[in-house]
A = this chain, B = another copy of it.
Amino acid sequence: MTKPLNIAIAGLGTVGSGVARLLTGNAAIIAARGGRRLALRAVLERDRKRERGVDLSKLKWHDNLRGLASDPTIDVVVELIGGSDGVALDLARAALSSGKHVVTANKAMLAHHGNELARLAAKNNVSLAFEAAVAGGIPILKALREGLAANRIERIYGILNGTCNYILTQMRDSGRDFGEVLKEAQKLGYAEADPSFDIDGIDTAHKLAILAAVAFGGPVDFKSVHVEGIRHVSALDIEFAEELGFRIKLLGLARPTAQGIESRVHACLVPRNAPIAHVEGVFNAVVVEGDFVGRVMLEGRGAGAEPTASAVVADLIDIAHGRASIGLTPSTAKPKAAPMARHTGSYYVRLMVVDRPGVIAEIAGALRDEKVSMEQMIQRGRKPGEAVPVVLTTHDTVEDSMRRALGRIARLKTVREKPRMIRVETL
């Protein structure tokens, strides 16, 4: 048998421990699939005492990244420290530079430094693999690069953050508002104490930037992603969406346009009969639209020790097999991004207006002045002189015009709150 693939794990948190357990527990299956033994030899971690559900006493324990990066007995470094910069980035650079393959689940690092790391990997003729960085256990990057490789990808979109999907699912099921459900999610461990990374869409944007780079073969372009979160989604919007035949999901979407790649993260109204509308709770899903294959959806667990470990070890098996590569195009090409102002689509708008004659005419006038064409309007309830919700959807509209129309509407005296806007997606 060929010599084993010698592996070091940097960072023994939840995921790192999961990878160690998987490499140990399924060693025979993994060796059969990889064509040789995958041997965990070393770790980089300070805390030796924590119980991790697997015996790590025989491993070499490194306590600084230089030591690990220059350890000649190691073939692959699995970076599971996290954070876009700092130790994780230093280690990835050092490991690649000393000719070691790097496997990582670190989406933040790849979103910010993926292009540099890909060039470093190419220069040193080693692999940079990161299936676990996007949608956890779902083998979406392999599907894009290999299983669907013959297709021109026309659009890719997904539910890439389990915390947001859990919150939106709970809001719909219980009719409760965002703040209350967030608190509960924090108690249950589905949301962090500081949840902004998730609920403001940043985590989804990291993943989308990587996904788009792989799907369209360009550089990672995190800075061009238009990012919104879900804080503004209210129970009332979810209720109106249902009434109109939609569900609300936080999606990351990317597609090539004549102006460049359009990539955006925001809450969307998705038709209730779209497959992605049925992806619930902490599950993630990615939909790929290819010119030959049509629509393909992959759904599964996007986070957690064990699904993430599944993706990390799949990368290790590819490396053992000699079929891994650099997951990103190691080019210095300037990314070309389509501006969000030119995005065209349909919009859902909810206003709280004073219930009195002439209000609707004012709103309709503001829309007309910006050439926004209304598709439908619902006024709910009657409370003369008080604020009532008015909901409208538009025909295809350019983002710019919609923004100006919303500005006009916000300035109307009869409109009592900031207008709420959610984009409607045709899926």
- Evaluate whether A150 and B313 lie within 8 angstroms (CB atoms) in the complex, with A22-B292, A32-B217, A275-B278 already known: yes
Indicate with 1 or 0, residue by residue over A287-308, a CB within 8 angstroms of chain B CB atoms: 0001111111111110010110
**CA of A321 to CA of B296 in the docked complex: distance in angstroms?**
24
Indicate with 1 or 0, residue by residue over A260-286, a CB within 8 angstroms of chain B CB atoms: 000000000000010100111000000
**A278 contacts which of B29, B143, B149, B278 (Cβ < 8 Å)?**
B278
Interface centre among A18, A149, A307, A316 (most CB of B within 10 A): A149
Indicate with 1 or 0, residue by residue over A307-329, a CB within 8 angstroms of chain B CB atoms: 10111011011100101000000
A310 touches B298 (CB 8 A): no
Is A403 at the interface (CB under 8 A from chain B)? no
Chain B, Cβ-Cβ closest to A136: B293
B33 touches A145 (CB 8 A): yes
Chain B, Cβ-Cβ closest to A279: B275
**A301 contacts which of B22, B145, B293, B301 (Cβ < 8 Å)?**
B293
Residues of B within 8 A of A217 (CB): 32
A296 touches B292 (CB 8 A): no
Residues of B within 8 A of A280 (CB): 273
Residues of B within 8 A of A311 (CB): 147, 293
Nearest Cβ distance between residue A315 and chain B, in whole angstroms?
9
- Evaluate whether A143 and B145 lie within 8 angstroms (CB atoms) in the complex, with A296-B299, A299-B275, A300-B293 already known: no
A299 touches B301 (CB 8 A): no
**CA of A152 to CA of B314 in the docked complex: distance in angstroms?**
13
A30 touches B146 (CB 8 A): no
**A147 contacts which of B139, B273, B316, B321 (Cβ < 8 Å)?**
B139
**CA of A313 to CA of B293 in the docked complex: distance in angstroms?**
11
Within 8 A of B (CB), among A25-69: 26, 29-30, 32-34
Is A142 at the interface (CB under 8 A from chain B)? yes
A138 touches B300 (CB 8 A): no
Residues of B within 8 A of A201 (CB): none
Chain B, Cβ-Cβ closest to A297: B299
Indicate with 1 or 0, residue by residue over A117-149, a CB within 8 angstroms of chain B CB atoms: 000000000000001000001110011011111
Residues of B within 8 A of A379 (CB): none
B33 touches A150 (CB 8 A): yes
**A29 contacts which of B152, B304, B313 (Cβ < 8 Å)?**
B152
B26 touches A148 (CB 8 A): no
Residues of B within 8 A of A290 (CB): 137, 310
**CA of A296 to CA of B131 in the docked complex: distance in angstroms?**
15
Residues of B within 8 A of A84 (CB): none
Residues of B within 8 A of A309 (CB): 150, 292
**CA of A324 to CA of B317 in the docked complex: distance in angstroms?**
14
Is A6 at the interface (CB under 8 A from chain B)? no
**A30 contacts which of B33, B145, B150, B273 (Cβ < 8 Å)?**
B150
Is A344 at the interface (CB under 8 A from chain B)? no
- Given A26-B151, A139-B296, A294-B300: 7 more A-B contacts, CB < 8 Å: A26-B291, A26-B292, A142-B143, A146-B314, A292-B306, A293-B310, A299-B299
What are 29 A-B residue pairs whose CB atoms fall within 8 Å in the complex? A22-B150, A22-B292, A26-B291, A33-B145, A33-B149, A131-B147, A137-B148, A137-B294, A139-B146, A142-B142, A142-B146, A143-B147, A146-B146, A146-B317, A146-B318, A149-B317, A150-B314, A150-B316, A275-B278, A290-B310, A292-B306, A292-B307, A292-B313, A293-B301, A294-B300, A295-B301, A296-B300, A297-B300, A298-B299
Q: Which of A's residues lie within 8 Å of B, judged by CB?
A: 18, 22, 26, 29-30, 32-34, 131, 137-139, 142-143, 145-152, 217, 273, 275, 278-280, 290-301, 304, 306-307, 309-311, 313-314, 316-318, 321, 323
8 nearest A-B residue pairs (beta carbon):
A139-B147, A150-B313, A296-B300, A323-B323, A293-B310, A137-B293, A33-B149, A292-B310
